[in-house]
Structure 1
Amino acid sequence: MEKFPMIETERLILSQLEEKDIPFITEYLQHRIYSDLTSNIPYPYTENDAVFWLKISKEAFENNTGYTFGIRNKEGRIIGAIGLHDRDDDKAELGYWIGMSYWNKGFVTEAAKAIIDFGFNELGFNKIFATHLLHNPASGRIMEKIGMKQEAVLKEEVKKDGEYFDLVMYSIFKDRDSF
């Protein structure tokens, strides 16, 4: 794909991350809870972290290995992000976060449904999977709402701040009946 896609849902616009998003991303991810509930968001989260993340997101798109979308309200303000990253063998990994003031409003579920459809219909993946830390069951509920089923618990899969954590893995398949 030469041009980064834009996907519109009932309440959201999913589009490429932009430099103007950096202050908002930095502000949202300042809260320690994001680091505590995810395997790859550092604490403290700095502007340099956001700049680096935008850079690697752009490179992933250019290398055809990933799509990281800003989750935006209809006014165009970023409220979170969602990504789909190629993991070879026709499968991709889904990841997401959303600003705390937007939690429990169905925005991630809405965005994830659109990204799953994009991954199967536009990118041709056979399997899309996502993981969450065992102590973040809310993320697992999102995965279930979009049709994913729990596939495995990966014991001590992540080492963060010198401690090992289990990851719960969910999957969905293109034919959606493979499980």
Structure 2
Amino acid sequence: MKKFPIIETERLILSKLEEKDIPFIVEYLQHRIYSDLTSNIPYPYTESDARFWLRMSKDAFENNTGYTFGIRNKEGHIIGAIGLHDREDDKAELGYWLGIPYWNKGYVTEAAKAIVDFGFNELGFHKIFATHFIHNPASGRIMEKIGMEQEAVLIQEIKKDEEYFDLVRYSIFNN
């Protein structure tokens, strides 16, 4: 794909991350909860973290290894992000975060359904999987709502801040 896709859902626009999003990304990810609930968001979250992430996202798209979309409301304001990253063997990993003011409104579920459809129908993946920390069952409920099924509990899978954490892995197949 030469041009980054734009995906529209009933309430959202999923599009390329942009430089203008950086201040909002930094503001959202200032809350410690993001670091506590994810394996890859640091605390404190800085502007240089956001710039690095935007560069990684751009590189992944250019190298055809991943798509990181800004989750935007219909006015175009970023409220979170969602990504699909190629893990070879026709499978991809789904990941997401959403600004706290937008939690519990079904936005991630809506975005994730669209991204899974994109992964299967446009990118041709056979399997899409996602993981969550065992202490973040809300993320697992999102995975279930989009049709994923629990595949495994990976014991002490992630080391973060000198502590080991279990991950729950979910997946869905393009059958």
How much is the aligned-residue C-alpha RMSD, in angstroms?
0.2
SS at match of 2:147: coil
- What are the within-5 Å matches in structure 2 for residues 21-36 of structure 1? 21-36=21-36
Instruction: Encode CA deviations 1:41-82: one digit per residue, 9 max, x unaligned.
Output: 000000000000000000000000000000000000000000
- What are the within-5 Å matches in structure 2 for residues 81-100 of structure 1? 81-100=81-100
Partner of 2:76: 76
CA distance in 1, matches of 2:10, 2:99: 19
Q: Percent identity?
A: 85
Partner of 1:143: 143
- What are the within-5 Å matches in structure 2 for residues 168-179 of structure 1? 168-175=168-175
CA distance in 1, matches of 2:95, 2:13: 17
SS at match of 1:95: strand
- What are the within-5 Å matches in structure 2 for residues 153-164 of structure 1? 153-164=153-164
Q: 1:8 offset after TM fit, Å?
A: 0.2
Q: Structure 1 residue 5 and structure 2 residue 26: aligned?
A: no
SS at match of 1:41: coil
Q: 1:166 offset after TM fit, Å?
A: 0.2
Partner of 2:19: 19
Partner of 2:101: 101
Q: Which AA in structure 2 matches 1:18?
A: E
CA distance in 1, matches of 2:100, 2:34: 9
CA distance in 2, matches of 1:31, 1:100: 9
TM-score, normalised by the number of residues in structure 2: 1.00
CA distance in 2, matches of 1:159, 1:41: 13
CA distance in 1, matches of 2:94, 2:67: 10
Q: Structure 1 residue 166 and structure 2 residue 161: aligned?
A: no
Q: Which AA in structure 2 matches 1:109?
A: T
CA distance in 2, matches of 1:65, 1:38: 21
CA distance in 1, matches of 2:6, 2:62: 16
Q: Which AA in structure 2 matches 1:152?
A: A
Unaligned runs of 5+ in 1: none
Partner of 2:132: 132
Q: Return structure 1 stretches of 4+ with deviation > 4 angstroms.
A: none
- Count of paired positions: 175
Instruction: Encode CA deviations 1:17-47: one digit per residue, 9 max, x unaligned.
Output: 0000000000000000000000110000000
